[in-house]
Amino acid sequence: MAPSTGKRLKSVSISRPIVYGNVAKPFGEKRPPEANAEHTHTWTVFVKDPQGKDLSYFIKKVVFKLHDTYPNSTRTIESPPFQVTETGWGEFEIGIKIYFVPESNEKNVSLYHNLKLHPYGFPPGHVLTDKDREVQSILYDEIVFNEPTERMFEILTKTPGSLLPPVGNNKYTFSKKMENDELDRIKQAMDKVIEEINVQKDRLKELEAERERLVTVDQ
C-alpha cells in the first residue's frame, strides 16, 4: 500500500543541494586483479550531499547507465553511498536517474555526466604530478520540489539541506573554491574560443580582400 502523501502545497518550493560527477586515477604500480587488460584507470561516479550527509531520507535509489561494453551496464543503487566504482580506459557519457521516496509522489530526475579520466585545465607545458593525475570532475546542482506533497515537505524540513563548504578536504568532495575554480576554467576556455573565432574572422577578411584585389587586377 502506498504511503499517504497528503495534498500538494500550492505556491511552495523547497530544494535540496547535491553534487554529482566522478573521481578517477591511474592504476599506477598496483593494478586491480579483476581489471580488463586494456583498462588504465579506476573511477567512481556518484551522487552525494555537498557535505557527505545521508541523502536517503528523500532519495530512494539512483540508477547509473554506463557504456554498453560494461557487464550489467545499468546499475541500480538503492542505499547510500549512491555510487558505482569501475575500471576503464575511455571517457563516455553516464546517464544518472534519481528516484525519490514514495511520499514525494514525484517523477525521477535525469542527469548526465561526461566521465573524465584524464587531467584537464592545466596550462601548456605544465608537467603533471601524480596528484594532478587524480581527476575530480564534479558538478553542483539543486533539486527543486515545486508544490511538494505535505508529507514530502515535512520530510524535507526535518533535515536541513547542506551548504557548500568554503574549501574541500578529505570529508567534503566539493567546495565553493572548487566551484569558483571550475567557473574560472570555463571562462578561460570561452575566452580562448572567442579569441580563435576573432582570429579566423580576421583571416577571412584578409582572404576576402585578397580575392577582391585579384578580381580587380584581372579586370
If you write DSSP's letter for every residue of 98-133 in order, what string do you get? EEE-GGG----EEEEEE---S--SPPTTPPPPTTTT
Tell me which residue has cell 500550492: 10
Closest CA to 94 of 43, 134, 142: 43
Full pLDDT tens readout for the chain, 219 residues: 566 788 999 999 999 999 999 999 999 888 888 889 899 999 999 999 988 899 999 999 999 999 999 999 999 999 999 999 999 999 999 999 999 999 999 999 999 999 999 987 778 888 888 888 889 888 889 999 999 999 999 999 999 888 777 766 665 566 777 777 777 777 888 888 999 999 999 999 999 888 888 877 766
At residue 93's C-alpha, the angle toward residues 180 and 123, to 5°, is: 40
CA dist., res. 47 & res. 80, Å (int): 9
pTM of the predicted structure, to 2 decimals = 0.77
**Dihedral pair phi/psi, residue 169, rounded to 5°:** -155, -170
